[in-house]
A and B are shown apart, each in its own frame.
With several copies, the nearest count.
Chain A
Amino acid sequence: MFLHQHPLDLPTLIASVASDDRGAIASFVGVVRDHHAGRTVLGLEYSAYGPMAEQRCAALVAQAETTWPVRVALAHRIGPLAVGDAAVAVVAAAAHRGPAFDACRWVIEAVKTEVPIWKRERYRDGSEAWVDPTAPAGVHPTGSAT
Protein backbone atom coordinates (compact mmCIF):
# COMPACT_ATOMS: atom_id res chain seq x y z
CA MET A 1 0.00 0.00 0.00
CA PHE A 2 2.78 2.50 0.93
CA LEU A 3 5.76 0.72 -0.65
CA HIS A 4 5.95 0.82 -4.44
CA GLN A 5 8.17 -0.98 -6.90
CA HIS A 6 6.98 1.32 -9.66
CA PRO A 7 7.54 5.08 -10.14
CA LEU A 8 5.61 7.34 -7.76
CA ASP A 9 2.99 9.64 -9.29
CA LEU A 10 2.39 12.87 -7.36
CA PRO A 11 -0.86 13.85 -9.13
CA THR A 12 -2.35 10.47 -8.23
CA LEU A 13 -1.32 10.88 -4.60
CA ILE A 14 -2.77 14.40 -4.55
CA ALA A 15 -6.04 13.20 -6.07
CA SER A 16 -6.29 10.56 -3.35
CA VAL A 17 -6.51 13.20 -0.60
CA ALA A 18 -7.87 16.30 -2.36
CA SER A 19 -11.50 17.22 -1.85
CA ASP A 20 -13.79 20.22 -2.31
CA ASP A 21 -13.48 21.24 1.31
CA ARG A 22 -9.69 20.91 1.44
CA GLY A 23 -8.17 23.81 -0.44
CA ALA A 24 -4.58 23.66 0.87
CA ILE A 25 -2.41 20.85 -0.49
CA ALA A 26 1.18 20.66 0.72
CA SER A 27 3.44 17.99 -0.69
CA PHE A 28 7.02 16.82 -0.45
CA VAL A 29 8.93 14.70 -2.92
CA GLY A 30 12.35 13.27 -2.10
CA VAL A 31 14.29 12.71 -5.31
CA VAL A 32 17.50 10.69 -5.75
CA ARG A 33 20.36 13.20 -5.90
CA ASP A 34 23.57 12.86 -7.91
CA HIS A 35 25.84 13.24 -4.91
CA HIS A 36 26.01 12.24 -1.27
CA ALA A 37 28.72 12.61 1.35
CA GLY A 38 30.98 14.19 -1.25
CA ARG A 39 30.69 11.36 -3.79
CA THR A 40 28.95 11.24 -7.15
CA VAL A 41 25.98 8.91 -6.93
CA LEU A 42 24.96 6.94 -10.02
CA GLY A 43 21.94 5.32 -8.44
CA LEU A 44 20.77 3.47 -5.38
CA GLU A 45 18.58 0.65 -4.17
CA TYR A 46 16.05 0.78 -1.35
CA SER A 47 15.29 -2.33 0.67
CA ALA A 48 12.64 -2.57 3.37
CA TYR A 49 11.36 -4.75 6.15
CA GLY A 50 8.07 -4.85 4.24
CA PRO A 51 5.44 -5.81 6.82
CA MET A 52 6.83 -3.47 9.47
CA ALA A 53 7.34 -0.65 6.98
CA GLU A 54 3.72 -0.86 5.81
CA GLN A 55 2.51 -0.98 9.38
CA ARG A 56 4.65 1.98 10.47
CA CYS A 57 3.59 4.05 7.45
CA ALA A 58 -0.05 3.38 8.28
CA ALA A 59 0.56 4.37 11.89
CA LEU A 60 2.30 7.61 10.86
CA VAL A 61 -0.51 8.59 8.51
CA ALA A 62 -3.10 7.84 11.21
CA GLN A 63 -1.16 9.86 13.78
CA ALA A 64 -0.84 12.85 11.43
CA GLU A 65 -4.54 12.72 10.58
CA THR A 66 -5.46 12.82 14.26
CA THR A 67 -2.92 15.48 15.17
CA TRP A 68 -4.02 17.86 12.39
CA PRO A 69 -7.28 18.26 10.46
CA VAL A 70 -5.68 16.76 7.35
CA ARG A 71 -5.80 13.87 4.96
CA VAL A 72 -2.36 12.39 4.21
CA ALA A 73 -1.04 10.30 1.34
CA LEU A 74 2.37 8.63 1.60
CA ALA A 75 4.34 6.51 -0.85
CA HIS A 76 7.91 5.20 -0.79
CA ARG A 77 9.77 3.55 -3.66
CA ILE A 78 11.65 0.31 -3.05
CA GLY A 79 14.06 -1.45 -5.39
CA PRO A 80 16.59 0.15 -7.74
CA LEU A 81 16.36 3.90 -8.51
CA ALA A 82 18.27 6.25 -10.78
CA VAL A 83 19.26 9.84 -10.10
CA GLY A 84 16.16 11.98 -10.53
CA ASP A 85 13.69 9.28 -9.56
CA ALA A 86 11.22 10.12 -6.79
CA ALA A 87 12.07 8.01 -3.73
CA VAL A 88 9.33 9.23 -1.37
CA ALA A 89 6.25 11.42 -1.67
CA VAL A 90 4.05 12.86 1.05
CA VAL A 91 0.87 14.87 0.43
CA ALA A 92 -1.21 16.57 3.12
CA ALA A 93 -4.54 18.17 2.22
CA ALA A 94 -6.39 20.48 4.60
CA ALA A 95 -8.83 23.39 4.64
CA HIS A 96 -5.92 25.71 5.50
CA ARG A 97 -2.24 25.80 4.62
CA GLY A 98 -0.87 25.77 8.20
CA PRO A 99 -1.99 22.22 9.08
CA ALA A 100 -1.20 21.03 5.54
CA PHE A 101 2.44 22.18 5.80
CA ASP A 102 2.86 21.08 9.41
CA ALA A 103 1.48 17.58 8.77
CA CYS A 104 3.45 17.14 5.55
CA ARG A 105 6.67 18.11 7.22
CA TRP A 106 6.00 15.96 10.30
CA VAL A 107 5.29 12.87 8.18
CA ILE A 108 8.49 13.07 6.13
CA GLU A 109 10.54 13.50 9.32
CA ALA A 110 8.76 10.55 10.93
CA VAL A 111 9.30 8.33 7.88
CA LYS A 112 13.04 8.82 8.23
CA THR A 113 13.10 7.82 11.90
CA GLU A 114 10.33 5.21 12.02
CA VAL A 115 10.06 3.28 8.77
CA PRO A 116 12.48 0.34 8.36
CA ILE A 117 13.87 1.18 4.95
CA TRP A 118 17.53 1.13 3.90
CA LYS A 119 19.44 2.68 1.06
CA ARG A 120 22.51 1.27 -0.70
CA GLU A 121 24.19 3.85 -2.93
CA ARG A 122 26.32 3.17 -6.04
CA TYR A 123 29.09 5.67 -6.73
CA ARG A 124 30.88 6.66 -9.90
CA ASP A 125 34.15 5.08 -8.69
CA GLY A 126 32.40 1.69 -8.67
CA SER A 127 32.11 1.48 -4.90
CA GLU A 128 28.84 1.09 -3.02
CA ALA A 129 27.83 1.89 0.54
CA TRP A 130 24.93 1.59 2.90
CA VAL A 131 23.63 5.00 3.85
CA ASP A 132 23.86 5.42 7.60
CA PRO A 133 22.56 8.75 8.89
CA THR A 134 24.10 7.97 12.28
CA ALA A 135 27.59 7.70 10.78
CA PRO A 136 29.63 10.93 10.57
CA ALA A 137 30.11 10.56 6.82
CA GLY A 138 26.46 9.75 6.30
CA VAL A 139 27.43 6.38 4.94
CA HIS A 140 28.72 3.33 6.72
CA PRO A 141 32.52 3.62 6.87
CA THR A 142 33.45 0.34 5.21
CA GLY A 143 31.50 0.67 1.97
CA SER A 144 32.33 -2.56 0.20
CA ALA A 145 32.17 -2.98 -3.54
CA THR A 146 30.19 -6.22 -3.48
Chain B
Amino acid sequence: MTTRTVLLFARYAELLGAASVEVEIAAGATIADLVAALRALPGGASLPANPVVAVAHAKADAATVIPEHAELALLPPLAGG
Protein backbone atom coordinates (compact mmCIF):
# COMPACT_ATOMS: atom_id res chain seq x y z
CA MET B 1 0.00 0.00 0.00
CA THR B 2 1.25 3.52 -0.67
CA THR B 3 0.00 6.86 0.62
CA ARG B 4 -1.02 9.23 -2.14
CA THR B 5 -1.99 12.88 -1.89
CA VAL B 6 -5.02 13.96 -3.87
CA LEU B 7 -5.59 17.66 -4.54
CA LEU B 8 -9.17 18.88 -4.10
CA PHE B 9 -10.91 21.92 -5.54
CA ALA B 10 -14.12 23.91 -5.33
CA ARG B 11 -17.11 21.89 -4.18
CA TYR B 12 -15.13 18.69 -3.58
CA ALA B 13 -12.71 20.53 -1.30
CA GLU B 14 -15.75 21.75 0.62
CA LEU B 15 -17.23 18.28 0.83
CA LEU B 16 -14.06 16.79 2.28
CA GLY B 17 -13.18 19.91 4.22
CA ALA B 18 -9.65 20.27 2.86
CA ALA B 19 -7.54 21.37 -0.13
CA SER B 20 -5.94 17.95 -0.29
CA VAL B 21 -6.29 14.54 1.35
CA GLU B 22 -4.13 11.47 1.78
CA VAL B 23 -5.37 8.04 0.83
CA GLU B 24 -3.86 4.56 0.96
CA ILE B 25 -3.92 2.64 -2.32
CA ALA B 26 -2.37 -0.66 -3.36
CA ALA B 27 0.44 -0.85 -5.90
CA GLY B 28 -1.05 -1.03 -9.42
CA ALA B 29 -4.30 0.56 -8.18
CA THR B 30 -6.52 2.22 -10.80
CA ILE B 31 -8.35 5.52 -10.77
CA ALA B 32 -11.50 3.59 -9.79
CA ASP B 33 -9.69 2.25 -6.73
CA LEU B 34 -8.56 5.77 -5.84
CA VAL B 35 -12.12 7.07 -6.11
CA ALA B 36 -13.36 4.25 -3.87
CA ALA B 37 -10.77 5.21 -1.26
CA LEU B 38 -11.80 8.88 -1.49
CA ARG B 39 -15.46 8.07 -1.12
CA ALA B 40 -14.66 6.19 2.09
CA LEU B 41 -13.28 9.37 3.69
CA PRO B 42 -15.44 11.61 5.96
CA GLY B 43 -17.73 13.55 3.58
CA GLY B 44 -16.54 11.39 0.71
CA ALA B 45 -19.88 9.65 0.31
CA SER B 46 -21.24 12.86 -1.22
CA LEU B 47 -18.76 12.60 -4.07
CA PRO B 48 -20.28 11.46 -7.37
CA ALA B 49 -19.69 7.83 -8.41
CA ASN B 50 -17.38 8.77 -11.30
CA PRO B 51 -15.70 12.07 -10.55
CA VAL B 52 -13.08 13.33 -13.01
CA VAL B 53 -9.54 12.60 -11.84
CA ALA B 54 -6.49 14.39 -13.26
CA VAL B 55 -3.21 12.52 -13.37
CA ALA B 56 -0.18 14.72 -14.10
CA HIS B 57 -2.51 17.49 -15.35
CA ALA B 58 -4.46 15.32 -17.75
CA LYS B 59 -7.89 13.78 -17.27
CA ALA B 60 -7.64 10.01 -16.68
CA ASP B 61 -10.07 7.14 -17.28
CA ALA B 62 -11.36 5.05 -14.42
CA ALA B 63 -9.34 2.06 -15.65
CA THR B 64 -6.04 3.94 -15.78
CA VAL B 65 -3.41 2.48 -13.48
CA ILE B 66 -2.07 5.27 -11.28
CA PRO B 67 1.60 6.07 -12.02
CA GLU B 68 3.82 6.20 -8.95
CA HIS B 69 4.90 9.81 -9.06
CA ALA B 70 2.11 11.66 -10.88
CA GLU B 71 0.25 14.52 -9.23
CA LEU B 72 -3.34 13.50 -8.57
CA ALA B 73 -6.36 15.82 -8.41
CA LEU B 74 -10.11 15.45 -8.20
CA LEU B 75 -11.93 17.84 -10.57
CA PRO B 76 -15.54 18.93 -10.06
CA PRO B 77 -17.49 19.72 -13.27
CA LEU B 78 -15.55 22.52 -14.97
CA ALA B 79 -17.09 25.99 -15.08
CA GLY B 80 -14.55 28.25 -16.71
CA GLY B 81 -15.10 30.78 -19.51
User: Does B bind A?
Assistant: yes
Q: What is A's interface to B at a CB cutoff of 8 Å? A: 30, 46-49, 51-53, 55-56, 76, 87-88, 108, 111-120, 130-135, 140, 144, 146
Q: What is B's interface to A at a CB cutoff of 8 Å? A: 7, 9-11, 14, 54, 57, 71, 73, 75-81
Find B79's partner among A49, A108, A131, A146 (CB 8 Å cutoff): A131
The residue in chain A whose Cβ has the minimal distance to the Cβ of B48 is A134
B10 surroundings in chain A (CB, below 8 A): 47, 118, 120, 130
Find B77's partner among A120, A135, A146 (CB 8 Å cutoff): A135
Number of A-B contacts (CB under 8 A): 73
Taking a contact as CB atoms under 8 Å apart, the answer to whether A55 and B57 are in contact is: yes
Complex Cα spacing A28 to B22, Å:
40
Complex Cα spacing A46 to B10, Å:
9
B76 surroundings in chain A (CB, below 8 A): 118, 130, 132
Q: A49-B7, A52-B54, A120-B10 are in contact. Are A112 and B78 (CB under 8 A)?
A: yes
Complex Cα spacing A111 to B80, Å:
7
B14 surroundings in chain A (CB, below 8 A): 144, 146
Question: Chain A nearest CB: distance from B30 CB in Å?
Answer: 20
A133 surroundings in chain B (CB, below 8 A): 77-79
B75 surroundings in chain A (CB, below 8 A): 49, 116
